[in-house]
Structure 1
């Protein structure tokens, strides 16, 4: 247990001179954001994810098989918009490849623009969000999360993908001492899972008890804080700012 706690503390309060510097807590914040926006999209926009593309592929299969309640257009739009966002995010981070802090800053500013546009659209529209408003919200949020995932891939911080937890949870168990492995890094990997769970739970509670726009407002505040920190980090020349060796 002490090892798990040390790993969790090292993730939340990282060594600023280490190879990942301040990136781990920032990526945990983005993991919370993922839970918030997917809670909004699934509960408010109707059985569609804007961050979890694995879910959308499954939903598309359900829709093609004629299962009721799984809109084919929404899943396809989310998938396509996410891909365009990943393309934009990949372009941004590759242009700034010499400095990881600059990669994060530019990607977060672009993602913030998409999420802000979605939040404004929600605030000026009336629930339930249907028709063109619904499709526009799906597209904007999927674009933003595509940018985020491209940036996270470029930053290549181990075990902190902000979206996909299947490999993270598999690693925590398969690499554990119980499985005769080197150690499952349960502290860091567990924090990633808890962060996504917390974001999804808060988003769902916000939808159920408050205004439908509340999850997006919380996501916007998280992005604003993360972007502010990222803008400060571009001045750093610490070792963690050097390009990552690979995803």
Structure 2
């Protein structure tokens, strides 16, 4: 089903790149303070589960399993919201999903700042679960939005497409800006998160919450452009991007 664009193309790209930076911020907290676990990058957690088979790896299988479980529950909630609210229009759906994520992140920031949710000991598992659920909502929502090269989390295919589709390989080499932008903002988010973490991890989460809230407000105040759609992306390298105009099908002529 084609989904009307809730924002102009550049504003949509900006919103999704902002969410990519949020991934870098939150994963900096989870990996550096919650004990070698990701709350957004589930590929890393699956690999960590394999590492944990070695007794002296120092990797917690429990932390990885809790992160994966929390993420799946968040993705389930995000998918449910997409199927329930998308039919009423993208503005309500996206605003609701990202507002929910922002609220959860904001609550985690407050609860960790007041030591209700800890960063150490067995209590950290609750922090991991809630953060992973919030990022699960984000990833599920972005997946249903179907914006090529703007997954906000996974960069493996982004980097592969950047090189495999380049002019050096004989490919189209068209519009690498989104792919480069995704890599750059993920890097910037992670670097900023690691730096601010030395002062306060709760502040990093609060910044992430504020960025998601800004994205939610952007979608909430948007006026859908019904002349453009987000097309399904069956292949990550098919070159189709957001804001592609719908083809105009000529009406058949009546026989004279």
Normalised by the length of structure 2, the TM-score is 0.83
Cα distance in 2, alignment partners of residues 78 and 36 from structure 1: 16
Asked if structure 2 preserves the Cα contact closer than 8 Å seen for 1:154 and 1:244, the reply is no
Asked if structure 1 preserves the Cα contact closer than 8 Å seen for 2:113 and 2:202, the reply is yes
Q: Does residue 177 of structure 1 match 2:164?
A: no
Asked if structure 1 preserves the Cα contact closer than 8 Å seen for 2:74 and 2:136, the reply is yes
Match of 1:72 among 45, 49, 61: 61
Number of corresponding residues: 228
CA deviation digits over 1:117-137, x for unaligned, max 9?
211211110897223431111
Give the aligned partner of residue 227 of structure 1. 216
Cα distance in 1, alignment partners of residues 162 and 185 from structure 2: 15
Task: State the Cα RMSD in Å.
Answer: 2.1
SS of equivalent residue, structure 2 residue 103: helix
Give the aligned partner of residue 149 of structure 1. 139
Asked if structure 1 preserves the Cα contact closer than 8 Å seen for 2:167 and 2:173, the reply is yes
Q: Does residue 104 of structure 1 match 2:91?
A: no
- The 1:21/1:95 distance shift into structure 2, 3 A limit, reads farther
Asked if structure 1 preserves the Cα contact closer than 8 Å seen for 2:159 and 2:179, the reply is yes
Q: Which has the larger helix fraction?
A: 1
Asked if structure 2 preserves the Cα contact closer than 8 Å seen for 1:112 and 1:223, the reply is yes
Cα distance in 1, alignment partners of residues 174 and 115 from structure 2: 46
Q: Does residue 59 of structure 1 match 2:48?
A: yes
Q: Does residue 136 of structure 1 match 2:123?
A: no
CA deviation digits over 1:84-107, x for unaligned, max 9?
000000001111223233322111
The structure with the largest alpha-carbon Rg is 2
Q: Which has the larger strand fraction?
A: 2
Q: Does residue 238 of structure 1 match 2:225?
A: yes
